[in-house]
Amino acid sequence: MRRANFELPTLAAAVLGLCASSNAVAGGFAVPELSTAGIGTTNALVANPDERGAIVYNPAAMAFHDQSSINTGLLLLAPDSHVDIPGGGGDATNADWFVAPMIQAAIRINEDWSAGLGVTAPFGLETRWAPNTFPALTGRAALPSPPFAPGSSVPLSPQPTQSKLEIVNFTPTATYRVTPELALSAGADIYWAKAAQLDSTITELEGEGTGWGFNLSAMYVKDRFSAGINFHSAPTVSLDGTFSVLDPNLVLLGAAPPSQTAELDVDLPWRLQVGVRYEIIQDQLAVELDWTRNGWSEFQEIKVVGDRTGTTLIEDQNQWDDSNAFRLGLTYNLVEQTQLRLGYSFDETPQGDEFFSARVPDNDRHLFGLGVAHKLNDRIQLELGYMYVMLEDRDFRSTRPYDPVNAPGDINGTTALNGDYSSEVHLIGLELSTSFDAF
């Protein structure tokens, strides 16, 4: 066996799992659900000057609120994935529920200035595949005897098993009301990758790290019409992790590097949202249309550097494309204390067939949301939202053969992953908000 047969491909298959999850709620591995109001309207809130839960989508909305507010809540997700492959396939062993924070504070300083802080989880989720899911990746290679015991063998291919990524974003912002109709906002995006883990049948890789970017937004409100725009820059999250080889025979053969610490930079996409909103019935029924552009073309390569040697252990190409999302949201004030919400979105996938990954069996998706908000009194509001995400089935058929002998780790986009993939996600948001006079 040659060292190249295992070292770089094995790391490539491992590292891909750090950056993606097959059950993300938007294209790629984004989770754009940032508030319970967003869940009910399928994230069509960038032009909404009224709802407290809209501030996290467009901080400039703070300028049009008469009081300060604090929203605290949880986002719960239940993903389900399945693949049909001749001789294999089956359900992914997903975590029963994935829980993410939703926190937003908006402080009204005076008539012109406001300050905010959001805590959300815009990227992540978790997927697990059983070791026998992909038959083409379950083979083993016989070892010579001696020096190894007769009948000894090592895994021939690194089948993906578990991928996990949890990124929390802290977003401090400042908003200035330029005119009675126009407000501008700017802030920082501080990303904390609190958990990044990848397991395969050959390797394990886990780590954590941080990164930062910036955000800019604006909102214009005139009578029943409003328009908003929000931009988040493309951050780089630097991860420090530990790479381990599960079978020590691979290290003895020189087919894989020994366990060591390593560094990885993950380029996340920029995000642009533009929306318009109109009150069809003043103070009662409003409709909003949003367009979102996600800059997944930033996610071009993954490069892992070993701390022991200082050399590049892997440099893998992804070549994802920028993608669009189209969102429709409705809000209806049933009575003064109670609001109903409804939404639909269509999200494009950024992933083409050439680099299709079992860790990210992504496809175009449809989002359906509904929600309710009820004022318990003049200051406290309770909100509940539900969303169903249906990924279009992806019948992946590659014409590029998988070569388990010369390129055992070169899995993505090959015939080893041929199959029919289906996924769905259920989301529940629960949030409590309170308003108050800060100054």
> Range with the lowest mean pLDDT among 34-48, 128-142, 186-200?
128-142
Q: Mean pLDDT, to the nearest integer, of 20-33?
A: 63
Query: Is the pTM above the cut of 0.85?
Result: yes
Q: What is the pLDDT of residue 314?
A: 64
Residue 320's closest CA among 291, 298, 293?
A: 298
| Top-confidence range, 157-166, 304-313, 329-338 | 329-338
Q: Tell me the CATH number at 432.
A: 2.40.160.60
Summarised one tens digit per residue, pLDDT across range 276-317 is: 999 999 999 999 999 999 999 988 777 777 788 777 666 666
Q: Mean pLDDT, to the nearest integer, of 201-221?
A: 93
Query: How many Cα atoms within 13 Å fall on the side-chain side of residue 265?
Result: 12
pLDDT top residue among 185 and 135? 185
Q: What is the pLDDT of residue 93?
A: 54
CA 208 to chain centre: 16
pLDDT for residue 245 is more than 90: no
pLDDT for residue 12 is more than 60: no
pLDDT for residue 26 is more than 70: no
Summarised one tens digit per residue, pLDDT across range 347-381 is: 999 988 888 887 777 889 999 999 999 999 999 99
Q: What is the pLDDT of residue 317?
A: 64
Residue 34's closest CA among 165, 164, 169, 233?
A: 169
- Residue pair 337/356 in contact (Cβ under 8 Å)? The answer is no
Summarised one tens digit per residue, pLDDT across range 79-130 is: 887 888 876 666 655 556 778 889 999 999 999 999 999 999 898 767 788 8
Number of domains in the chain: 1
- Residue pair 219/182 in contact (Cβ under 8 Å)? The answer is yes
Q: What is the pLDDT of residue 91?
A: 62
Q: What is the pLDDT of residue 4?
A: 31
pLDDT for residue 10 is more than 50: no
Q: Mean pLDDT, to the nearest integer, of 263-271?
A: 90
pLDDT for residue 3 is more than 60: no
- Residue pair 135/145 in contact (Cβ under 8 Å)? The answer is no
Summarised one tens digit per residue, pLDDT across range 395-437 is: 999 988 888 777 776 788 888 889 888 888 899 999 999 999 9
Confidence of residue 231 (pLDDT cuts 50, 70, 90): very high
pLDDT for residue 7 is more than 70: no
* DSSP-derived secondary structure letter, 143: P
Cβ-defined contacts of 306-314 (< 8 Å, 24+): 306/243, 306/257, 306/260, 306/261, 306/262, 307/260, 307/261, 307/262, 307/263, 308/260, 308/261, 309/260, 313/7, 313/8, 313/11, 313/243, 313/257, 313/262, 314/8, 314/11, 314/12, 314/15
Confidence of residue 14 (pLDDT cuts 50, 70, 90): very low
User: Two tokens at 62?
Assistant: 């703070």
Confidence of residue 274 (pLDDT cuts 50, 70, 90): very high
Confidence of residue 166 (pLDDT cuts 50, 70, 90): confident
> Range with the lowest mean pLDDT among 114-118, 231-235, 261-265, 277-281?
261-265
- Residue pair 328/287 in contact (Cβ under 8 Å)? The answer is yes
Domain hosting residue 311, numbered range: 3-436
Summarised one tens digit per residue, pLDDT across range 28-76 is: 688 889 999 999 999 999 999 999 999 999 999 999 999 999 999 999 9
pLDDT top residue among 415 and 216? 216
Which residues sit opposite 387 in a β-bridge? Answer: 369, 427
- Residue pair 370/40 in contact (Cβ under 8 Å)? The answer is yes
Residue 226's closest CA among 37, 58, 368, 38?
A: 58
Query: Across the chain, which distance is largest between two alpha carbons, in Å?
Result: 84
Q: Give the span between the Cα atoms of 70 and 57, in whole angstroms.
A: 15
Q: What is the share, in percent, of the chain residues with pLDDT greater than 90?
A: 50
pLDDT for residue 191 is more than 90: yes
CA 301 to chain centre: 17
Q: Mean pLDDT, to the nearest integer, of 159-173?
A: 89
> Range with the lowest mean pLDDT among 48-57, 192-201, 390-399?
192-201
DSSP E strand stretches across 109-181:
113-128, 140-142, 153-155, 160-177
